[in-house]
Every structure is written in C-alpha cells, then in structure tokens.
Amino acid sequence: MNTPTLREIRDFKGTYPKQLIYLFGTEMWERFCFYGLRGMLTVFMVTQLGLEDKAANLQYGAIQAFVYAFTFLGGVFADKILGFQKSLFWGATLMILGGFIIALAPTQFFYIGICFNIIGTGFFKPNISTMVGQLYHEGDHRRDAGFSLFYMGINVGGLLGGLLMVWVGMEYSWRLAFALVGVVMILGLLNFLWRRRSLGPIGLSPLHPDMPVNRRKFYEWGTYVGSLLVMPLVLLMVTNTAYTDLFMYIVGPLTLIYLAWEMRGFSRTENLRLGAALIFIFFSIFFWAFFEQSGGSLSLFALNNLRPTLFGFKVNPNSVNNGANSLFVIMFSALVGLLWLWLSKRKIEPNSVVKFGLGFLFLGGGFYILKSTLGFADAKGVTSTEVFTLAWFVITFGELCISPIGLSLMTKLSPTRIQGLMMGMWFLASAYGQYAAGLLGAGMSSDDPNATNYQKLELYTNGYGQLGLYALIAGVVLIVISPGVRRLMRGVH
C-alpha cells in the first residue's frame, strides 16, 4: 500500500474517505470494551463487591470521571510528544492489560485493572476522533456526515459490548466478561496496524524532524514510563471518592489556565472560535451528567425495577439498558448525518448551537418518559421495559444532535496544533458530566437499605422528572443564545 499525502487523502470523492472506515473499525472494538465495561460497573459493584446503591453510584461516577479526565492528558501528550498514532497504540496496549488483569481475579484486581483502563482510554479516545477530523479540508461540509458515520461505528461496538458483556458476567462468568476486553482490544489494535499506512502523515509525531533521535526517544519513553508510575496515585483516587472530589476541583481550573496560556499565540479570530468551543464544552457537561445515568442509576433501575420481557420476548433488562441506545444510534445516525447534508445543500440546515439546543429538548422528553414508568408499575415496583426502551429512543436523537456534532466542532473550531488538547477538553467535560452523574444518581438512591423496590422506583422516577425539566430549560437557553455564539464561531457552521 502506497503512503498517501495529506492532500490526496482530503481530495476524496463522494461522501466519506476510505480512511474513515478504517478508523471506524478500530474505534468500534474500543467502544465494545468501553460500553461493555460501563454497563457492568454498577451491577458488578453491587452484586459482587457488596456496595450499596448510593456507594455504587458514587464509585461509578468517580471511575468514569477519571476515564474522561485522562483523555485531556492523553490529548496533550499526543499534541506535544507522541502524535495521535503512537498515543492510540499505547492506550490500546494499556487497555488490553487492564482487561486481562481483572480477569485473573475480578473481585481482588478490579480496581487495579480499572486504573489501566482509565489511563489507556485517556491515550486512545481523544486521538482517534482528532484523526477523523484531519481527514477533511477546513470548511468541508461533509465533515459532520463523516462524524455521524464514525459515531455509528462507535455504537456498533457499544451495542455488541453492551448486550454481551453484562450478560456474560451475570449468566456465565465475570472473569470471562472482563477477559473479553483484552481479546477485543487486540482485534482493534491489529485492525489499526494493518491500515496505518493509509493515514499518511495524519497522527505522526509532532516533534521536530531535526530533533536528535536520542532526545526524541527520551520524550516518548518518558511518557510511557510516567503513565505507569502514576498508576498508584490513580488507584488511590479511584478507591477513595473524597480524592476524586479534590481532583475534579483542581483539574478543571488548571486546564483553563493552560488553555489561556496556549491562546496567547493565536489570532483574535482563532481565540473567538475557541471561546465558542468552550460554550459547547460547558453545556455538554450538563448533557452528560443526565445522559450518563445510563451506567449508574439506570443500571440499578434496570436490575431491580424492569420486567425481564420486551414485546413478549424474554430479555435481560440490563442488556436492554446497555444496548437500546446504541441500536437506535446505528439505525438512525447515518440518516441524521445525511439529513444535515440534505438541509445544507438547501441552505436550511440548523446551525450547531441550535442542534445542541434540540439535543437537550430530546433529552428532556426522554427523561419525562422515564418519569412516566411509575404509572406502569405493579405493587412490587416492577415496571414496563417497553416504556423504558421508548425513553432511550427519544434520548438517542438528543445524543445524535450533540455528540457527533461536538466531536466535529472541536476539530473545526480549534487551531490544528491544539486539536488534541481541545478534543481532550471535550472529553474532560464528559468527565465532569460523569462525576455529576454519580452525584445525581446517589442523590436519587434511597438511604434506607430496607427500602422496597416500589420506594426505590418512586425516588428514581421523581429524580428523572427533575432532570427532564432542567434539560428542557438548557435547550431553550441554547436556542435563544445561538445568534451570539454563531458570531463567535466566525463562519464555522
């Protein structure tokens, strides 16, 4: 395979570049692991580690917060030292080790393996998305459609992992479920290595080509060794949620200070665009705080309060919770992407701020449907899986208006040399969302260990109603402020 130039890659014909499909395949397997683990966390902690619902929600929020927080650091090291390709390779390697470590003894090594997954995801996750953005010329209207297709790839993996891993763990073996992380990540890494040359210069080391080889290796190996040496600190913070609180109070302000330092060298237009990017990042925190109840309170809701049937077929309710959203994304993401293209050609496509606002309106509608499940419950607090699935159907359209659009915006609004940093900040916002999701889920959980299922259902559904109201308010605010944010974007649609 000949190594193409950047111009040859970006001058592709049709809707999608072939490299997008290759990255799609790599990301699909990583998402299998991520969503599979996400779906297992609270169920495993409650049923195998003996945590109460409130503690499991807090622990879930802490783990997921660190997963996303380290994507910021991964983006910085990719921008400055490793490049996106080597960063992805190192992240995948750590995730493979993490899965196999937990599989050795799930209850004893759970937190140690999770630390490998946290740091591995940090190096992997932001950089593959950034490489997708670099497949396109600046201003290419096909970029949003490309990210929508890429997002479908994410959710193919999410569907398979979400359906399979928690089912394998609950019905067969938790060791086997965690071992799947290592096996599947090996497949994803092999796919990337096989297609790597097709990316040409995209994702190569940012270090100056004239830098002495020994110095280059010192920086690269220093990054690898440093990420291993920090493991004990990560383990301490993950297992003690008080340290998680402290970390989250510190990392956000430091990140903004670092970004302000980087912004000194950019033009006024570039800095205004970065200001717009920060507005999107800010609102995404709230979106993920609500949406990520999926791995916390909604996992426990599915475990305790859903009937094990769907349209007359026997199902595992947690597989429905983990898989429904991904299935709907697969079904509709490409169509939504093509809809944006169709509207763009007719010059009636809503701008990105309005899309974000619509995303919150769908999110609010979905949570009001979750609130309504109380009306379908029996005396034991067991309610309709069909209505629960309908809620995910509505929420999915909210996600499609925000997540792939947000990924695309970070690459469009960011100067090239800090795209990894800004993608990391996008995921850092998810870290704060995950952190808040754990707090919200814990707040909706009963303090009474003897609470009945019906009482738990009442608490959760009341909480979901409040989240629905806040989401609707956020959606209206975004639509109202859209003209001002568009001016900051300086021509980026």
Is the pLDDT at 161 greater than 60? The verdict is yes
Q: pLDDT-based confidence at 126, cuts 50/70/90?
A: low
pTM reported for the whole predicted model: 0.76
Distance CA 491, CA 493 (A): 6
Does pLDDT of 211 surpass 60? yes
Predicted confidence band of residue 436 (pLDDT cuts 50, 70, 90):
confident
Share of residues in the chain with pLDDT > 70 (%):
98
Which domains, ranges and CATH numbers included, belong to the chain?
14-489 (1.20.1250.20)
What is the arithmetic mean of pLDDT over 25-41?
82
pLDDT over threshold 60, residue 287: yes
Poorest-pLDDT segment among 43-52, 362-371, 382-391: 43-52
Q: Is the pLDDT of residue 458 over 70?
A: yes
Identify the H or E element spanning 384.
none
Q: Is residue 383 classed as helix, strand or coil in its secondary structure?
A: strand
What is the rounded average pLDDT of the residues 311-332? 86
pLDDT band at 1 (very low <50, low <70, confident <90, very high): low
Task: Measure CA of the first residue to CA of the last residue in the chain; give whole Å.
Answer: 35
* Segment 409-419 mean pLDDT: 78
pLDDT at residue 184, as a whole number = 87
Helix (H, G, I), strand (E, B) or coil at 49: coil
205/359 Cα distance (integer angstroms): 36
- Across all residues in the chain, what is the average pLDDT? 83
Hey, CA dihedral for 9, 14, 15, 20, is it positive or negative? negative
Indicate the residue type of 362: F
Pairwise CA distance, residues 198 & 301, whole Å = 45
Q: What is residue 493's predicted lDDT score, i.e. its pLDDT?
A: 64
Question: Residue 250: its pLDDT value, please?
Answer: 84
Show the CA angle centred on residue 420, arms to residues 417 and 426, nearest 5°: 130
* Mean pLDDT of the region 223-234: 89
Q: Tell me the C-alpha distance between 115 and 245, whole Å.
A: 17
Do residues 398 and 362 lie in contact, with contact meaning Cβ atoms separated by under 8 Å? yes
Q: What is the pLDDT of residues 55-97, one digit of tens each?
A: 887 888 788 888 877 877 777 787 788 777 888 888 889 999 9
Instruction: Determine the pLDDT at residue 229.
Output: 92
